[in-house]
Structure 1
Amino acid sequence: MVLGVYTAAAGAGLTCAGRWPFCDGFLGLFPANWGSFIEWFHRLVAMITGFVILGTTIKAWREGVSKRVRYALVVATAILPFQIVLGALTVTEYEWVILTAHYVVATSIFTAVVAAAAWGLSDRGIPRTADAVKLALVGMPIMLVLAPHMFVSFGPLTQTIYYVVGLATYGSLVAATLWASTAHGAQADSYGRLKYALAPASGIVVALLIAGRQVYLPSLQLAHLGGTLIALVLVVGATVIVRSGLPVPQTGVRNDAD
């Protein structure tokens, strides 16, 4: 996803002679210059990532991990064909609607994989809710400073850093939300308060990431900055809840019925 952002920001999205899946170099399969290499390398990594997701899904079903992990991976795998088609259309059509849809689908795959990873850790009795909240607390101020076209130039390098930090922040918020949702009994109230801060923060951050590359008008820039501030306040609130002393959630190893 980050490579895709850099490819578009660097203006390399229409290199490879605007062809897909071919390029403009030797036999039409390899890049002929640096710009083409950026686009070609993005395609290569995306292809490898797709096979890794597919392989992980197959392995999860063969090993009989919990249903929620398997189903999350199935969702990620089922969306992959749409992502491939949209990836081709970004080259052959290159319209902002297609570019946005391409990133939305990628984000959906990312969310499903993060959910599978978070639930996998929870099933082993090792949720890291406090650590995830701390990571989000580090990421949000960076997202604020790098907000599109507000304080620094939003060039290819800045966009790349912004989306690395943004995806890490979003992933940590999703994981923390899911872990907080697993608490029950005496822990339900405390983790419930945490969840109500984390869940909306997750939604705001993913909206910021999806809209980030479409922010050009001053009104949109201010709206984006306002959303970032709201998410930051929510994460600070979650941090306060964590530091007030959360009880250890009694998750344990879940059986397949879960």
Structure 2
Amino acid sequence: MSTDSYTSRPVLRPLIERFGFRHLLVTTLLLVAATILLGVAAKATGSGLACEQNWPLCDAGPYNAFPANMPSFYEWFHRFVAMFAGFAIVATAVASWRLPDIDNRIAGLVVLGAVLTPIQVILGRETVTQYTMDILQLHFWTAVLIFVLFVVATVLVWESQLTATHATASLALGALSLPFHVALSPFALGDITAYGPSLQMAQYAVMLVSIAAVLVAFMIGRRQFGNGQLTALLGFTTALAFVVTFLAREAVNPAYDAVYLASTALLFVFLAISMWRTRIAANSA
């Protein structure tokens, strides 16, 4: 970490001291989540195709300031928010590296997020110029990886104030999100044509909440309890949440309905068991 004097950072340090690195990190996390959800809406409407392989412009001149239609607007707005998310990611990475009081683990996570950002930009361009399912999947999962990195970094930066109660509450939130996860899926809707952009954004928002919830519980549990079996249980539950996320993304194909429902039910059971175990561990601590 840099230990340069205050005068070597005449702009960065005062800005971060005024706004707070923690709040900058949370703001960046929210922008990353918003970018993912807007990307889901853009995919649902086929908005990348509206730009006819044009990137970074679309169909309305510089910055696509006057979109020609709604699909073009979705794609433009997704790019617009993604631009600010990218700036925030880079700013957070620079701040974490330059400020001497930032944990090396946090700096490593956000710097890795910054390294992935140009790759994500290139993949975003390819979704417009080529629009293949493989590229769309890579684009989505790279975004999720950046989201995960910032969730973990956010937990680390706030970890001194997080307790076992927060772990239990996070697990409860994850469990409560699952019925909504299923209710918003093509399986529950019964008609794939009803699975429109708004519902897809809502389902993916629930999905991000469930991922963040289990990650928070795992990070707190790993630090608070020092129990190998409980840590392994929380780790398995976290991994299962990612499996459910993958299957939910594939659930537009009815062939995945049974395995999606089974994995979601299994995740609910493991969330309930994890809540029970964390309460016992907290009471015995």
TM bracket, shorter-chain basis = 0.7 to 0.9
Match of 2:126 among 89, 93, 99: 89
Q: Residue type of the partner of 2:173?
A: L
Aligned to 2:188: 151
User: What are the superposed Cα offsets for residues 37-61 of structure 1, whole Å, 9 maximum, x if unpaired?
Assistant: 1100000101110110111111112
1:137 and 2:175 are equivalent in the alignment: yes
Match of 1:53 among 70, 89, 96: 89
Q: Distance in 2 between matches of 1:66 and 1:47?
A: 27
1:16 and 2:51 are equivalent in the alignment: yes
Q: Distance in 2 between matches of 1:106 and 1:157?
A: 20
Q: Residue type of the partner of 1:178?
A: M
How far residue 236 of structure 1 moved from its aligned partner, in angstroms, is 1.1
Q: Distance in 1 between matches of 2:132 and 2:178?
A: 30
**Contact in 2 for aligned 1:177/1:199 (Cα 8 Å):** yes
1:40 and 2:76 are equivalent in the alignment: yes
1:174 and 2:230 are equivalent in the alignment: no
Aligned to 1:109: 146
How far residue 235 of structure 1 moved from its aligned partner, in angstroms, is 0.7
Aligned to 1:254: none
User: Secondary structure at the residue paired with 2:47?
Assistant: coil
Count of aligned pairs: 242
How far residue 247 of structure 1 moved from its aligned partner, in angstroms, is 4.8
* Of 194-203 and 5-14, the range deviating more from structure 2: 194-203
User: Secondary structure at the residue paired with 1:188?
Assistant: coil
User: What are the superposed Cα offsets for residues 57-100 of structure 1, whole Å, 9 maximum, x if unpaired?
Assistant: 11112223111111111111111111011000000100100000
1:226 and 2:262 are equivalent in the alignment: yes
Gaps in structure 1 of 5+ consecutive residues: 250-258
Indicate how the Cα distance of structure 1 residues 118 and 28 shifts in structure 2: closer, same or farther if over 3 A, else same.
closer
1:71 and 2:108 are equivalent in the alignment: yes
Query: What is the root-mean-square deviation of aligned Cα atoms in Å?
Result: 2.0
User: Secondary structure at the residue paired with 1:14?
Assistant: helix
How far residue 158 of structure 1 moved from its aligned partner, in angstroms, is 1.8
* Percent of paired sites with the same residue: 28
Runs of 4 or more above 6 Å deviation:
none
Structure (1 or 2) with the greater helix fraction: 2
> TM-score, normalising length from structure 2?
0.78
Q: Residue type of the partner of 2:207?
A: G
Q: Residue type of the partner of 1:91?
A: V
Q: Residue type of the partner of 2:39?
A: G
> TM-score, normalising length from structure 1?
0.86
Aligned to 1:4: 39
Indicate how the Cα distance of structure 1 residues 86 and 198 shifts in structure 2: closer, same or farther if over 3 A, else same.
same
**Contact in 2 for aligned 1:104/1:210 (Cα 8 Å):** no
Aligned to 1:255: none
**Contact in 1 for aligned 2:211/2:242 (Cα 8 Å):** yes
**Contact in 2 for aligned 1:53/1:73 (Cα 8 Å):** yes
Aligned to 2:236: 200
Q: Distance in 2 between matches of 1:157 and 1:248?
A: 45
Q: Distance in 2 between matches of 1:27 and 1:142?
A: 40
Indicate how the Cα distance of structure 1 residues 18 and 180 shifts in structure 2: closer, same or farther if over 3 A, else same.
same
Gaps in structure 2 of 5+ consecutive residues: 1-35
